[in-house]
Amino acid sequence: MDRQPVVAGRFYDADPARLNSMLDGFLGLAEEKKEERTLLAMVPHAGYVYSGAVCGKTLAMSNLASTILLLGPNHTGRGDRFALWAGGSWGIPGGQVPVDEELAKVLLDADPMITADTDAHVGEHSLEVILPFLHRLNLDVSVVPIAMSAHVFDDVATVGKAIGQALKEFDRPVSIVVSSDMSHYISDDEARKMDGLALAAASSLDPNILFSTVREHNISMCGVLPMTTGLFAALELGATKADLVAYATSGEVSGDFEQVVGYAGVIVS
Protein backbone atom coordinates (compact mmCIF):
# COMPACT_ATOMS: atom_id res chain seq x y z
CA MET A 1 0.00 0.00 0.00
CA ASP A 2 1.36 3.42 -0.98
CA ARG A 3 0.76 6.55 1.08
CA GLN A 4 0.08 9.92 -0.48
CA PRO A 5 1.01 13.14 1.33
CA VAL A 6 -1.71 14.69 3.46
CA VAL A 7 -0.08 17.97 4.57
CA ALA A 8 1.64 19.05 1.35
CA GLY A 9 0.49 22.57 0.60
CA ARG A 10 -0.03 23.25 4.31
CA PHE A 11 3.06 22.27 6.29
CA TYR A 12 5.33 22.54 3.24
CA ASP A 13 5.08 23.56 -0.41
CA ALA A 14 3.32 21.10 -2.72
CA ASP A 15 5.21 22.36 -5.79
CA PRO A 16 8.37 20.22 -6.23
CA ALA A 17 10.57 23.03 -7.56
CA ARG A 18 9.64 25.49 -4.83
CA LEU A 19 9.88 22.74 -2.20
CA ASN A 20 13.37 21.72 -3.30
CA SER A 21 14.53 25.34 -3.29
CA MET A 22 13.25 25.73 0.26
CA LEU A 23 14.86 22.44 1.33
CA ASP A 24 18.21 23.49 -0.12
CA GLY A 25 18.08 26.69 1.89
CA PHE A 26 17.41 24.84 5.13
CA LEU A 27 19.98 22.11 4.46
CA GLY A 28 22.53 24.79 3.60
CA LEU A 29 22.43 26.04 7.20
CA ALA A 30 24.42 23.01 8.34
CA GLU A 31 27.80 23.33 9.95
CA GLU A 32 30.43 20.63 9.48
CA LYS A 33 28.97 17.18 8.91
CA LYS A 34 29.57 14.64 11.67
CA GLU A 35 32.27 12.06 10.92
CA GLU A 36 30.82 9.39 13.19
CA ARG A 37 27.86 7.37 11.95
CA THR A 38 24.66 8.94 13.23
CA LEU A 39 22.75 6.34 15.22
CA LEU A 40 19.85 8.68 15.95
CA ALA A 41 18.81 12.18 14.96
CA MET A 42 15.89 13.97 16.57
CA VAL A 43 14.22 16.69 14.48
CA PRO A 44 10.97 18.71 14.64
CA HIS A 45 7.89 18.30 12.48
CA ALA A 46 6.06 21.64 12.34
CA GLY A 47 5.38 23.73 9.27
CA TYR A 48 8.65 24.43 7.48
CA VAL A 49 8.44 28.17 8.01
CA TYR A 50 8.76 27.50 11.73
CA SER A 51 10.85 24.35 12.13
CA GLY A 52 12.45 23.79 8.72
CA ALA A 53 15.71 25.50 9.66
CA VAL A 54 16.24 23.28 12.72
CA CYS A 55 15.24 20.13 10.84
CA GLY A 56 17.37 20.89 7.78
CA LYS A 57 20.47 21.90 9.71
CA THR A 58 20.29 18.83 11.93
CA LEU A 59 19.77 16.29 9.16
CA ALA A 60 22.44 17.83 6.94
CA MET A 61 24.96 17.66 9.80
CA SER A 62 24.04 14.02 10.48
CA ASN A 63 25.97 11.14 8.94
CA LEU A 64 22.91 9.07 8.09
CA ALA A 65 22.69 5.58 6.66
CA SER A 66 20.71 5.06 3.45
CA THR A 67 18.12 3.10 5.42
CA ILE A 68 16.16 5.10 8.01
CA LEU A 69 13.89 3.92 10.81
CA LEU A 70 11.41 6.73 11.43
CA LEU A 71 9.88 6.98 14.91
CA GLY A 72 7.19 9.57 15.50
CA PRO A 73 4.27 10.41 17.77
CA ASN A 74 0.70 9.52 16.84
CA HIS A 75 -1.29 12.75 17.12
CA THR A 76 -4.52 11.31 15.69
CA GLY A 77 -5.08 8.54 18.24
CA ARG A 78 -5.95 6.08 15.48
CA GLY A 79 -4.31 2.70 14.98
CA ASP A 80 -2.05 0.49 17.06
CA ARG A 81 0.38 1.52 19.79
CA PHE A 82 3.53 0.70 17.80
CA ALA A 83 2.18 0.99 14.27
CA LEU A 84 4.59 0.03 11.47
CA TRP A 85 3.90 0.80 7.80
CA ALA A 86 5.24 -2.41 6.28
CA GLY A 87 5.41 -1.95 2.50
CA GLY A 88 4.94 0.12 -0.62
CA SER A 89 6.17 3.70 -0.66
CA TRP A 90 5.41 7.15 0.73
CA GLY A 91 4.80 9.90 -1.77
CA ILE A 92 6.33 13.36 -1.56
CA PRO A 93 5.93 16.20 -4.06
CA GLY A 94 7.87 15.10 -7.13
CA GLY A 95 8.94 11.70 -5.85
CA GLN A 96 8.48 8.54 -3.84
CA VAL A 97 10.34 7.17 -0.81
CA PRO A 98 10.23 3.36 -0.70
CA VAL A 99 9.53 1.43 2.47
CA ASP A 100 12.32 -1.03 3.22
CA GLU A 101 10.24 -4.19 3.40
CA GLU A 102 13.14 -6.37 4.52
CA LEU A 103 13.80 -4.20 7.56
CA ALA A 104 10.06 -3.89 8.20
CA LYS A 105 9.77 -7.67 8.47
CA VAL A 106 12.74 -7.87 10.81
CA LEU A 107 11.23 -5.25 13.10
CA LEU A 108 7.81 -6.92 13.09
CA ASP A 109 9.53 -10.11 14.21
CA ALA A 110 11.55 -8.28 16.87
CA ASP A 111 8.67 -7.80 19.33
CA PRO A 112 4.95 -8.68 19.20
CA MET A 113 3.98 -5.18 20.34
CA ILE A 114 5.21 -3.85 16.97
CA THR A 115 2.38 -4.44 14.50
CA ALA A 116 1.74 -3.81 10.83
CA ASP A 117 -0.83 -1.01 10.77
CA THR A 118 -1.54 1.81 8.33
CA ASP A 119 -4.43 3.45 10.22
CA ALA A 120 -2.09 5.28 12.58
CA HIS A 121 -0.28 6.87 9.63
CA VAL A 122 -3.03 7.88 7.21
CA GLY A 123 -3.72 11.32 8.70
CA GLU A 124 -0.52 11.71 10.71
CA HIS A 125 1.96 14.46 9.77
CA SER A 126 4.88 13.86 12.14
CA LEU A 127 6.84 11.55 9.83
CA GLU A 128 5.61 12.83 6.49
CA VAL A 129 7.15 16.28 6.92
CA ILE A 130 10.64 14.79 7.44
CA LEU A 131 10.63 12.72 4.24
CA PRO A 132 11.35 15.55 1.77
CA PHE A 133 14.51 16.41 3.73
CA LEU A 134 15.72 12.81 3.71
CA HIS A 135 14.95 12.39 0.00
CA ARG A 136 16.72 15.64 -0.88
CA LEU A 137 19.81 14.52 1.02
CA ASN A 138 19.82 11.04 -0.53
CA LEU A 139 17.70 10.04 -3.52
CA ASP A 140 18.31 6.37 -2.65
CA VAL A 141 16.95 6.61 0.89
CA SER A 142 14.47 4.00 2.12
CA VAL A 143 12.47 4.12 5.33
CA VAL A 144 10.43 2.14 7.81
CA PRO A 145 7.89 4.41 9.56
CA ILE A 146 6.57 3.63 13.05
CA ALA A 147 3.95 5.84 14.75
CA MET A 148 3.74 5.49 18.52
CA SER A 149 0.95 6.01 21.03
CA ALA A 150 2.12 3.65 23.82
CA HIS A 151 2.33 5.38 27.20
CA VAL A 152 3.60 2.57 29.43
CA PHE A 153 7.30 3.06 30.10
CA ASP A 154 8.09 -0.65 30.40
CA ASP A 155 6.53 -1.29 26.98
CA VAL A 156 8.49 1.57 25.43
CA ALA A 157 11.70 0.24 26.97
CA THR A 158 11.04 -3.31 25.80
CA VAL A 159 10.31 -2.25 22.23
CA GLY A 160 13.26 0.13 22.13
CA LYS A 161 15.69 -2.55 23.24
CA ALA A 162 14.19 -5.06 20.79
CA ILE A 163 14.55 -2.55 17.95
CA GLY A 164 18.16 -1.91 18.92
CA GLN A 165 19.01 -5.61 18.90
CA ALA A 166 17.27 -6.08 15.55
CA LEU A 167 19.17 -3.18 13.99
CA LYS A 168 22.42 -4.45 15.45
CA GLU A 169 21.95 -7.81 13.73
CA PHE A 170 20.61 -6.37 10.46
CA ASP A 171 22.84 -6.83 7.42
CA ARG A 172 22.94 -3.10 6.58
CA PRO A 173 23.51 0.02 8.68
CA VAL A 174 20.34 1.78 9.77
CA SER A 175 19.97 5.25 11.29
CA ILE A 176 17.02 6.21 13.49
CA VAL A 177 15.29 9.55 12.92
CA VAL A 178 12.94 10.61 15.70
CA SER A 179 10.25 13.21 15.08
CA SER A 180 9.41 15.50 17.98
CA ASP A 181 8.51 19.08 18.73
CA MET A 182 9.28 20.40 22.19
CA SER A 183 7.15 22.63 24.47
CA HIS A 184 3.80 23.83 23.12
CA TYR A 185 1.99 27.15 23.65
CA ILE A 186 3.85 28.64 26.58
CA SER A 187 6.03 31.73 26.73
CA ASP A 188 9.40 31.75 25.00
CA ASP A 189 11.23 32.07 28.32
CA GLU A 190 9.31 29.18 29.86
CA ALA A 191 9.74 27.02 26.75
CA ARG A 192 13.50 27.49 26.79
CA LYS A 193 13.59 26.60 30.47
CA MET A 194 11.40 23.50 30.15
CA ASP A 195 12.99 22.34 26.92
CA GLY A 196 16.42 22.79 28.46
CA LEU A 197 15.50 20.26 31.13
CA ALA A 198 14.25 17.74 28.57
CA LEU A 199 17.20 18.22 26.25
CA ALA A 200 19.70 17.86 29.08
CA ALA A 201 18.00 14.58 29.96
CA ALA A 202 18.12 13.40 26.33
CA SER A 203 21.76 14.43 26.02
CA SER A 204 22.59 12.29 29.05
CA LEU A 205 21.63 9.25 26.93
CA ASP A 206 19.46 8.00 29.78
CA PRO A 207 15.95 7.26 28.48
CA ASN A 208 14.68 6.75 32.04
CA ILE A 209 15.70 10.29 32.96
CA LEU A 210 14.19 11.73 29.78
CA PHE A 211 10.85 10.02 30.33
CA SER A 212 10.66 10.95 34.03
CA THR A 213 11.83 14.54 33.48
CA VAL A 214 9.15 15.19 30.87
CA ARG A 215 6.47 13.64 33.04
CA GLU A 216 7.48 15.25 36.34
CA HIS A 217 7.76 18.76 34.85
CA ASN A 218 4.72 18.37 32.58
CA ILE A 219 6.78 19.26 29.50
CA SER A 220 4.63 19.10 26.38
CA MET A 221 7.27 17.33 24.25
CA CYS A 222 5.02 15.43 21.85
CA GLY A 223 7.72 12.96 20.79
CA VAL A 224 8.91 11.87 24.21
CA LEU A 225 7.70 8.31 23.52
CA PRO A 226 9.56 7.84 20.22
CA MET A 227 12.65 9.61 21.60
CA THR A 228 12.67 7.36 24.67
CA THR A 229 12.27 4.34 22.41
CA GLY A 230 14.99 5.62 20.10
CA LEU A 231 17.43 6.17 22.94
CA PHE A 232 16.96 2.61 24.18
CA ALA A 233 17.65 1.39 20.64
CA ALA A 234 20.67 3.67 20.19
CA LEU A 235 22.20 2.42 23.44
CA GLU A 236 21.91 -1.15 22.17
CA LEU A 237 23.80 0.04 19.09
CA GLY A 238 26.61 1.46 21.22
CA ALA A 239 25.71 5.16 21.50
CA THR A 240 28.20 7.17 23.54
CA LYS A 241 27.28 10.81 23.03
CA ALA A 242 24.47 13.18 22.10
CA ASP A 243 24.92 16.69 20.72
CA LEU A 244 22.31 19.45 20.68
CA VAL A 245 22.99 21.11 17.32
CA ALA A 246 20.00 23.43 16.96
CA TYR A 247 17.20 25.02 18.98
CA ALA A 248 14.59 27.62 18.12
CA THR A 249 11.04 28.63 18.96
CA SER A 250 8.18 29.68 16.73
CA GLY A 251 8.38 33.15 18.27
CA GLU A 252 11.52 33.85 16.27
CA VAL A 253 9.39 33.66 13.11
CA SER A 254 5.94 34.80 14.27
CA GLY A 255 7.08 37.53 16.64
CA ASP A 256 4.68 36.15 19.28
CA PHE A 257 6.82 35.23 22.28
CA GLU A 258 3.87 34.61 24.61
CA GLN A 259 2.63 31.41 22.90
CA VAL A 260 5.46 29.49 21.26
CA VAL A 261 6.42 25.98 20.23
CA GLY A 262 9.99 24.80 20.74
CA TYR A 263 12.06 22.94 18.14
CA ALA A 264 15.32 21.05 18.75
CA GLY A 265 17.84 19.08 16.73
CA VAL A 266 19.85 16.35 18.48
CA ILE A 267 22.42 13.98 16.98
CA VAL A 268 23.35 10.76 18.78
CA SER A 269 26.45 8.81 17.79
> What is the tens place of the pLDDT at every residue in 80-121?
999 999 999 999 999 999 999 999 999 999 999 999 999 999
The answer, yes or no, to whether residue 124 has pLDDT greater than 90, is yes
| Average pLDDT for 254-266 | 98
Q: What is the pLDDT of residues 187-205, one digit of tens each?
A: 999 999 999 999 999 999 9
**1 domain residue, yes or no:** no
**156 domain residue, yes or no:** yes
Domain around 140 = 16-268
| Average pLDDT for 202-213 | 97
**3 domain residue, yes or no:** no
Domain count, the chain: 1
**90 domain residue, yes or no:** yes
* pLDDT value, residue 1: 86
**132 domain residue, yes or no:** yes
As a whole-number percent, the residues of the chain with pLDDT over 70 amount to 100
User: Residue 177 belongs to what H/E stretch?
Assistant: strand 174-179
CB under 8 Å to 228, separation ≥6 — which residues?
Answer: 153, 156, 157, 160, 207, 210, 211
**5 domain residue, yes or no:** no
**70 domain residue, yes or no:** yes
Confidence of residue 153 (pLDDT cuts 50, 70, 90): very high
* pLDDT value, residue 234: 98
The answer, yes or no, to whether residue 208 has pLDDT greater than 90, is yes
CATH for 143: 3.40.830.10
pTM score = 0.98
| Average pLDDT for 27-31 | 96
Q: What is the pLDDT of residues 59-88, one digit of tens each?
A: 999 999 999 999 999 999 999 999 999 999
**2 domain residue, yes or no:** no
- Please enumerate, as own/partner, the contacts of 106-112 that have beta carbons within 8 Å and a separation of 24 or more: 106/166, 106/170, 107/69, 107/144, 107/146, 107/163, 107/166, 108/84, 109/166, 110/162, 110/163, 110/165, 110/166, 111/82, 111/158, 111/159, 111/162, 111/163
